[in-house]
Amino acid sequence: MTRIRKVVFPVAGLGTRMLPATKVLPKEMLPVVDRPLVEYAVEEAAAAGCEVFVFVTGRGKTLVEDHFDRAFELFETLARKGKTRELSALERALPPAGTFVYTRQQAPLGLGHAVWCARHLVGDEPFGVILVDDLVHARTPCLAQLAAVHAERGGNVVAVEEVPREHTARYGILDPGADDGRVVEVRAFVEKPKPEEAPSRLAVIGRYILSPRIFTILEDLPPGAGGEIQLTDAMTRLLAEEAFHGVRFEGRRFDCGDRIGYLEANLALAMERPDIAARLHAALRHYV
């Protein structure tokens, strides 16, 4: 099967769940320990073998672009002062020239519309989508796990995890078919069902590998829930033509668009850092 070379990052959202912090600061730039969320997402895509990184941005998102650029004065100052550790960390975040491309979503018309805005940059090949809000901490990058299933089975692949029955109304939920315990066939997607109506507890989270056919579907898709172009609606139509599989990924997902999820991500990743874990553990004893 075709290797996944390109990945789309829809980063035009307003981040309303994290206001007032995101009034000026893009939600993708919120730090987890000492790196912005978007850097973790890019690192995951690169580790999965992606070579072209497509950002669908909006007004007020220039900080995302600037983060992956060379800040000459800062770099020169760090070099002059001999701050090699800090300089190396910044150098590692810089992409190879020409691998990052940006396009604008000029109106907040939904996730499906944001993905559609990347159509000319993706072209006619399968591609990944990463929602930066969902930070997945895993030994094997989540997108790489999906790419492995795509290489084996083809079609379209989404990451899924089981959620409490009472939370199904927050997610797109799978109607599952054949299931080997890790990979599950998708018979249907049900958008935000009531707990008593949900066909399962398998929720789609922010990792996808999609066929380019999705762009043609999104082109003519009418607005759905909230008056927006919904990616789930397009996937439902694509399901009539192409197979979908859900992958129970290995790792832990943190919803960093939620205050508790964001705080938990900071704690979990900080506790794995040898340079700060012991001090953080001692500090937490005052509160727990």
228-244 pLDDT per residue, tens: 889 999 999 999 999 99
Residue 74 lies in a domain: yes
pLDDT score of 1 more than 60: no
Q: Residue 217 and residue 234: Cα distance in Å, rounded?
A: 6
> At 93, is the pLDDT very low, low, confident or very high (cuts 50, 70, 90)?
confident
Pairing of β 244-248 and β 202-210: unpaired
> For residues 150 and 141, is the Cβ–Cβ distance under 8 A?
no
pLDDT score of 9 more than 80: yes
- What values do phi and psi take at 178, rounded to 5? -60, 140
pLDDT score of 2 more than 70: no
- For the range 175-184, what are the long-range contacts, defined as Cβ-Cβ under 8 Å and sequence gap of 24 or more? 175/199, 175/200, 176/200, 176/202, 176/246, 181/248, 182/247, 182/248, 183/149, 183/153, 183/245, 183/246, 183/247, 183/248, 184/160, 184/245, 184/246, 184/247, 184/248
Map residue 67 onto helix, strand or coil.
helix
Look at the alpha carbons of 212, 215, 221, 226 in this order and tell me if their dihedral is positive or negative.
positive
pLDDT value of residue 211: 96
Mean pLDDT computed over every residue of the chain? 93
Residue 239 lies in a domain: yes
1 vs 247, higher pLDDT? 247
Q: How many CA atoms lie within 13 A of 160 on its CB side?
A: 27
Q: What is the pTM of this model?
A: 0.93
Helix (H) or strand (E) holding 151: helix 142-153
Count of domains for the chain: 1
Helix (H) or strand (E) holding 8: strand 6-10
Residue 133: which of 272, 277, 259, 275 has the closest Cα? 259
Residue 104 belongs to domain spanning: 6-284
Residue 1 lies in a domain: no
Share of the chain above pLDDT 70, in %: 99
pLDDT value of residue 129: 98
Burial class (CB in 10 A: 0-12, 13-18, 19+), 264: middle
User: In this structure, what CATH number is given to the domain that contains residue 84?
Assistant: 3.90.550.10
pLDDT value of residue 224: 85
Q: Residue 111 and residue 210: Cα distance in Å, rounded?
A: 14
pLDDT tens digits for range 99-154: 999 999 988 889 999 999 999 999 999 999 999 999 999 999 999 999 999 999 99
